[in-house]
Amino acid sequence: MELIIQNVCKSYKDVKALNNFSITMTDGVYGLLGPNGAGKTTLMRIITDNMDADSGHIFFNGKDIKQMGKDYRSILGYMPQHNAAYSSFTSKQFLSYIGSLKGMQKEDIQSQVPMLLKRVNLYENMNSKIGSFSGGMKQRIMLAQALLGDPKVIILDEPTAGLDPKERIRIRNLISGFALNRIIIIATHVVSDIEFIAKEIILLKKGSIVLHDAPDILCRMIENKVYEIYSDISMIDEISEKFEVCNIQKGIDRLAIRVLLKDNQNKECLKDYENVTLRASVEDVYLFVFDEEREKKVV
């Protein structure tokens, strides 16, 4: 299975939302990361055929999606950022309704709805109204509707937004379990949600790909750039001035400050501080790439 996005451009007046965006995707999870205005939403709308690109093409298994028409839309699943489930519907009613909108056969709806409710751990709530659900349950029902019809390309927009850590982990594990023989694209600001399940992460800025690769390879890019400094609170301003601070954790008698070295820095600049080297995370890579104070372009 292959989704090829080829030289896709999209502008809004004088602003380029996508600038010759090209990538090839195969089975697995792809994380789409970038600051607000990077072009993530525009890209998802074009992939789901809800918006036309100014130029460029998208091919699914060698066929242009514009020529495929409804055949392409039938293999799509989409989970929007803002919950669109009807509060007065029960889980079963809502999924059956969405299945009808997708043009599914009645017998397929009847077989898939209970199965998907089991997969997202909502089978016991089949006849409960969605309005009574918690935020996590609503996200799970939206994930279930995206999976109706056995889609081959699934687009998830901020699937864990507003959820507590336990529900985020549950949703993340569900997505990972559904990734076999599917292309799943996740746009999110919660970097940790995709770090361990993504086959590849795409860093997007001003409509262009800055970097894209497997998480481990991206992290190697800033090897020996991530450290933890141990200090008391009086040193916070000085450390923040010298380094990119990623995280501050309060201990019993001191602070553990996770920092990134800047472009022109090496370990020598840490000699005045007690410190240890840390393994880089994708979040560190994100901060390194999208540091507004850095003028050097990372390629």
* Strand extents, DSSP E, 84-159: 153-157
Residue 275 inside a domain? The answer is yes
Bridge partners (DSSP) listed for residue 23 = 5
Residues 60 and 179 in one domain: yes
Q: Which of 32, 2, 46, 6 is nearest to 181 (CA)?
A: 2
Residues 212 and 228 in one domain: no
The rounded Cα 94 to chain-centroid distance in angstroms is 25
Q: What is the pLDDT along the chain (299 residues), one digit of tens a residue?
A: 899 999 999 999 888 999 999 999 999 999 999 998 899 999 999 999 999 999 999 999 999 999 998 899 889 999 987 777 888 999 999 999 999 988 899 999 999 999 999 988 899 999 999 999 988 889 889 999 999 999 999 999 988 877 888 888 888 888 888 888 899 999 988 888 898 899 999 999 999 999 999 999 999 999 889 999 999 988 999 999 999 999 999 988 899 999 999 877 888 899 999 999 999 999 999 998 887 545 444 44
Structure tokens at 164: 């507590």
Core vs surface per residue 104-122: b (16+ CB within 10 A) or e? beeeebeebbeebbebbeb
Which of 173, 200, 216 delimits the end of a domain?
A: 216
In degrees and rounded to multiples of 5, residue 255 shows phi and psi of -105, 145
Residue 142 inside a domain? The answer is yes
Residue 284 inside a domain? The answer is no
Predicted confidence at residue 75, as pLDDT, reads 93
For residue 31, the 8-state DSSP code is E
Residues 60 and 201 in one domain: yes
Distance CA(41)–CA(189), nearest Å, equals: 12
Residues 23 and 160 in one domain: yes
pTM given for the model? 0.89
SS3 51: coil
Residues 74 and 209 in one domain: yes
pLDDT in tens, 235-278: 999 999 999 999 999 988 899 999 999 877 888 899 999 999 99
Residue 158 inside a domain? The answer is yes
- The boundaries of the domain holding residue 269 are 224-279
Residues 10 and 144 in one domain: yes
Q: How many domains does the chain have?
A: 2
Residues 28 and 163 in one domain: yes
Residue 294 inside a domain? The answer is no
Predicted confidence at residue 174, as pLDDT, reads 86
Distance CA(172)–CA(237), nearest Å, equals: 36
